[in-house]
Amino acid sequence: MSETDETQSALGRFGDRITGFRDRIAEKPGQLRVYRVVVGVIGTLVLIGGIVAIPYPGPGWLIVFAGLAILGSEFMWAKRVLQFARGKYDAWTDWLGRQNLFVKLLVLTVTGLIVLATLWLLNALYLVAGWVGLDGWTWLKSPILG
∠ CA(16), CA(22), CA(23), 5° rounding?
85
Where in the chain are the domains?
Answer: 1-98, 100-146
> Mind listing the pLDDT tens digit of every residue in the chain (146 residues)?
566 666 667 666 766 677 777 778 878 888 888 999 999 999 999 999 999 888 777 888 899 999 999 999 999 999 999 999 999 999 999 999 999 999 999 999 998 898 888 888 888 888 888 899 888 888 888 888 76
Whether the full predicted model's pTM is greater than 0.85, yes or no, is no
Alpha helices in the chain (DSSP H): 3-26, 29-53, 60-72, 76-98, 101-121, 124-131
